[in-house]
Structure 1
């Protein structure tokens, strides 16, 4: 089963940074999809439910 979560970001400085974050998050094993929007300062992550907490630790490290 999958788990989708949305987050409000703060201090995201540029669209290029958002794109780099999104690419890095999508490469984390267990992540099905991710989007990071510079314009809305929001991030959405769809990942495996069983590994979600572990995946979020890696997302924070990005």
Structure 2
């Protein structure tokens, strides 16, 4: 299942790369890509674990970039 998340307020491309790398390591994530320019995280995740994966991604993003606002777009 494809999920798109907006991370408003990312301060740098390095933080975006760190978040992307950590999200890719989450169990149930088949693919993840975070664009610093669009501030969008696109993930392909296991459908039965969507909520669990989104919450883990939120915690990961908050740990690396606490000022960024995490919004699930779809």
Q: Say whether the fold is shared (TM-score over 0.5).
A: yes
Tell me, which stretches of 5 or more residues in structure 1 are unaligned? none
- 2:7 matched to 1:5? no
The one of the two structures with greater contact order (alpha-carbon pairs below 8 A, sep at least 6) is 2
Aligned to 2:42, the other structure's residue is in SS state strand
Q: Which runs of 5+ in 2 are unaligned?
A: 61-74
Coordinate RMSD, CA, aligned:
0.7
Calculate the TM-score normalised by the size of structure 2: 0.77
1:15-26 alignment, distance < 5 Å: 15-26=13-24
- Mapping of residues 15-54 of structure 1, within 5 Å: 15-54=13-52
TM-score by length of 1: 0.91
What is the DSSP-based 3-state SS (H/G/I as helix, E as strand, rest coil) of the residue aligned with 2:4? strand
Aligned length: 60
User: Can you list the C-alpha shifts for 1:10-62, whole angstroms capped at 9, x where unaligned?
Assistant: 11010000000000000000000001110111110110000111111101100
